[in-house]
Amino acid sequence: MKKNWITIIVLLGLITYGAYDYFSKSSANQAEVMKTEDTDLVIGIEKGQAAPDFVLQNLQGEEVRLSDFQGKTVMVNFWATWCPPCRIEMPHMQKFYEDYNSKDVVIIGVNMTPSEKTLSSVKTFVDEQQLTFPIVLDMDAGVTQTYQIIAYPSTVLIDSRGVIQEKFRGAINYEMMKEAVARVR
């Protein structure tokens, strides 16, 4: 019985330390908040703040920057191939991209690559799903950490000025995307 209590105390200590470590790094990231050059908006990860820019490589090895899509509404979707809700959500993402891309709405699929078994599994999934929207690889989970993604999938809706307007934890469907984008425009 005494061994069980010691084990429980050690586990609770490890969990507490892990949470402290994660949130202290998150706080450090938020401490780097600054004003953007052309507006009074603060760069951050909350609604109403300017979304932090990022540069990631797509499956072809080309750099993709969030700021490349300035002037468009952007849905940044954090996902992984092993995530069942992500797999369910992807056909909705593709359909929405096909219907709204010509209306200056873009989806960027940020794959949480360190959690994948292999890089080829990402490419296979993208091919099987016939995804045509930009897919980028967060090889070191830096962007995932910057945006403090804790649930998969997660989607951040950014307006044409680069301001975060909505955050979704969990899978979203076509109608939810349509309604969220309509509120932004």
**pLDDT at site 29:** 46
pTM, whole model, 2 decimals? 0.80
Q: Which residues contact 138 (CB under 8 A, 6 or more apart)?
A: 56, 78, 110, 111, 112, 113, 114, 144
Residue 108 parent element (H or E): strand 105-111
Q: What is the residue-averaged pLDDT of the chain?
A: 87
Q: How far apart are CA 81 and CA 154, in angstroms?
A: 14
Q: How far apart are CA 178 and CA 166, in angstroms?
A: 13
pLDDT at 3 over 90: no
For 55-83, what is each residue's pLDDT tens digit?
Answer: 999 999 999 999 999 999 999 999 999 99
Residue labelled with tokens 């509404």? 73
What are the tokens at 21?
A: 């470590």
The partner residues of 109 in beta bridges, in order of sequence, read 77, 135
